[in-house]
Every structure is written in C-alpha cells, then in structure tokens.
Amino acid sequence: MSAGDDSPRVVALAGGVGGAKLAHGLALTGLGERLSVVVNTGDDFTLYGLHISPDLDTVLYTLGGLANPETGWGVAGDTLITHEMLGEYGIETWFMLGDKDLATHILRTERLRNGDSLSEIMGDLAQGLGINARLLPMTDDPVATKLATDAGLLDFQEYFVRRRHGDDVHRIEFDGIDAARLPEPVGAALDSADVIVICPSNPFVSVDPILAVPGLRERMLASPAPVVAVSPIIGGAAVKGPAAQMLASLGHDVSAAGVAAYYREFVDVMVIDTVDKNLAGDVEALGMTVAVTDTLMQSDADRRALAAFTLEVGRSQRLARAG
Ligand code: GDP
C-alpha cells in the first residue's frame, strides 16, 4: 500500500506486544512508508550464540501479519521441535524459541557477524515480509536493560521471562546507553514527523530506553510534531505484563493519570480509555490535552480505529498550534 502525499508522516515509539498492536493499526490506516516505527532494543540478548531482539521481532511479525494471535509474540502456528531437542540435552529452556522464529535469529546473527547494522538487517527482514512501514531499531549499539529487585540486579529476560516479572522493581538501568548512537534514519524521521505517537507500551522498560538514547528525546522535543501517547493502563491495570506493578513499586499512581504524570514533560496529548474518563480532569491539570476513546485492541478493527483516532487528535493539535 503506498500512501498519498497528504497522509501524515508518523513516528511511533514502540516496545513489544502493546506497541506492535498500535503500530499495526497505524499501518492499517494506509500510511505506507510514511510510518516509521522506532523500537526498543534494551531487551535484546544472546542465547545459543544468537542475537535475539524480542521487541523488534514482535513488531516485525505483527506488521508482517505473522504474529501468534494467542501470545502476541512469536510466529503463528510455529513449532517447538528445536526447543524440545534442546530440552532432551538437559538444557534449561525457559526462553521459548519457535522453529520459524529461529530463522530470524540465525539470519540476523550471521549478518551482524558480517558487519551489517541491526538497522540494515531489520529493514531487509521487513522488506522480505512485504512490510511498507520503516522498522527502525532505537540504536544499532548494544543497550541492556537491568532491573534492581530484592533478588539483586537482574538481566531483563531473567526478570521478565524466567522469573515471570514477579519481583518488585526498585530501579532500572540501561547499560551501554551513554555510548549508544542515534541512527540517522531515526533522527531524520523525528525531524520530518507530522505526529509522534507513543504506543501503549511499558513506560519504564519499553519507552524509557528509547527516550534515553542520547539525542533522541531532544530531537523529539525540537520537532514541531505534537506528541500523542496512548495509555497502556486501562482501569488501573495493565492489559498484560508488569506495567501496573512497576508504577506502584517505582512510586507512581497506578492509573492512566499516573502514566500521564510520568510523561508530562514531553507528551502533548494523552489518550485514555473510556473507562478512565473520570481521570480526564486530572490529566488536563497536568497541562496536557486529553482525548478519551476505547483503547483495548482485541481485533484488527480495534487497532485501526485507535490508530485513526490517535492520528486525528494529533492533527487537531497541529491545527490548533498553527491557528
Ligand atoms: P512487551 O514488551 O511485549 O511487554 O510490550 P509493550 O511494552 O509494547 O506493551 C506492554 C504494555 O502494553 C502493557 O502495559 C499493556 O498494558 C499494554 N497493552 C497491551 N495491549 C494493549 C491494548 O490493547 N490497549 C492498551 N491501551 N494497552 C495495551
């Protein structure tokens, strides 16, 4: 699908499953290559010598129409034959890698070893799956999210998958972030954006690492494009994952208003769910514009509708500024 010249240039910041769903909705509105999705790489890690990029792959498979609808991650209908064989050898297999999914990791790892950048590789994989949107890693340099818990400083996958995000998180670090360089296409996309969307992703381990890439936040703030965020918290709970528990343990209000307060310095419009409409006044009191709609994405139609709503509030904000 190729977009007309009058469709907006959109940059979406995304983590994994929640972010991928809205990114898919944005793609479904027909933005084509005018959509750039900047994805967290702080969860990347190495397993069996393979470079795994969980969030990038979730966005890749979702935009490519291959994602497993039950989990939101992995490839639909994938098998676990390799995973089971590793188990036969007595290997502790707490991180599940499907057979088709492994093809992505094998290809990526080989190309990284040959000196290609993660950006180039993900661009080619996206093209291979017929994706028109630009899939952009937040950086090509290694960044590793670590979580301080009562059980010590945990690697992201140790915390998230192995320990099933059961630990209270007291502090978060992004190892390597100071040396991480902003890829040129990410900076350029921000400079020329008409709307910047912060997807309903985990604020602390999906959105924060992206914003922490040196220069990214400054480029976003310098861009004339309004920044519209969709709350990942609905009715005081996360749709999935540890966002609500993290809000609490890190000392924030566990609500869409708590997320808005956390985002207040860089977000212009906060999209909150209809069930949270009573919080609209609290969000406005932070100096933000608030927009209320149904934000639970259970179907492709839901994704598209939320994306269209998000673009419309971005457009209104742009017009209000121009006027
Ligand atoms: P992860 O890396 O796979 O955990 O994915 P993300 O960080 O992108 O997304 C996790 C967040 O997305 C959680 O806080 C969820 O509450 C939120 N989320 C997931 N699905 C939806 C949805 O349909 N609507 C909204 N508003 N939030 C969602």
Per-residue pLDDT of the chain (323 residues; tens, 9 = 90+): 455 678 999 999 999 999 999 999 999 999 999 999 999 999 999 999 999 999 999 999 999 999 999 999 999 999 999 999 999 999 988 899 999 999 999 999 999 999 999 999 999 999 999 999 999 999 999 999 999 999 999 999 999 999 999 999 999 999 999 999 999 999 999 999 999 999 999 999 999 999 999 999 999 999 999 999 999 999 999 999 999 999 999 999 999 999 999 999 999 999 999 999 999 999 999 999 999 999 999 999 999 999 999 999 999 999 998 87
> Which mutation among 201, 250, 255, 299 tests ligand 1's pocket best, with the greatest number of atoms within 8 A of CB?
201
Which pair of tokens denotes residue 115? 């000196």
Asked if residue 203 has its Cβ within 6 Å of ligand 1, the reply is no
**Alpha carbon 94 to chain centroid, angstroms:** 23
Asked if residue 202 has its Cβ within 6 Å of ligand 1, the reply is yes
Asked if residue 21 has its Cβ within 6 Å of ligand 1, the reply is yes
Which pair of tokens denotes residue 24? 């898919």
Cα–Cα distance measured from residue 83 to residue 73, given in angstroms and rounded to the nearest whole number: 16
Indicate the domain borders of the chain.
10-146+175-322
Helix (H) or strand (E) holding 148: strand 144-149
Which sign does the torsion angle of CA 202, 195, 234, 69 carry?
negative
Closest C-alpha to 191, from 9, 2, 7: 9
Q: Which CATH class for the 10-146+175-322 domain? A: alpha beta
How many A from CA of 121 to the centre of ligand 1? Answer: 25
Closest C-alpha to 41, from 167, 181, 151: 181
Asked if residue 16 has its Cβ within 6 Å of ligand 1, the reply is yes
Asked if residue 297 has its Cβ within 6 Å of ligand 1, the reply is yes
Determine the pLDDT at residue 76: 97
b vs e for 3-23, b when ≥16 Cβ sit within 10 Å of the residue's Cβ? Answer: beeebbbbbbbbbbbbbbbbb
Amino acid, res. 145? T
Rg (CA), the chain: 19
Determine the pLDDT at residue 94: 86
Classify residue 155 as exposed, middle or buried by CB count within 10 Å of its CB (0-12, 13-18, 19+): middle
Find all residues with CB under 8 Å of 233, minimum gap 6, and list them.
243, 244, 247, 254, 255, 256, 258, 259
Which residue has a Cα nearest atom 11 of ligand 1?
Answer: 201
How many A from CA of 108 to the centre of ligand 1? Answer: 26
Closest C-alpha to 18, from 297, 310, 301: 297
Amino acid, res. 29? T
Asked if residue 18 has its Cβ within 6 Å of ligand 1, the reply is yes
Asked if residue 230 has its Cβ within 6 Å of ligand 1, the reply is yes
Q: Which residues on adjacent β-strands are paired with residue 200?
A: none
In the 8-state DSSP scheme, what is residue 98? -
Three-class SS state of 176: coil
Asked if residue 232 has its Cβ within 6 Å of ligand 1, the reply is yes
How many A from CA of 269 to the centre of ligand 1? Answer: 18
How many A from CA of 223 to the centre of ligand 1? Answer: 26
Cα–Cα distance measured from residue 48 to residue 188, given in angstroms and rounded to the nearest whole number: 35
Asked if residue 42 has its Cβ within 6 Å of ligand 1, the reply is no
Give the pTM. Answer: 0.97
Asked if residue 15 has its Cβ within 6 Å of ligand 1, the reply is yes
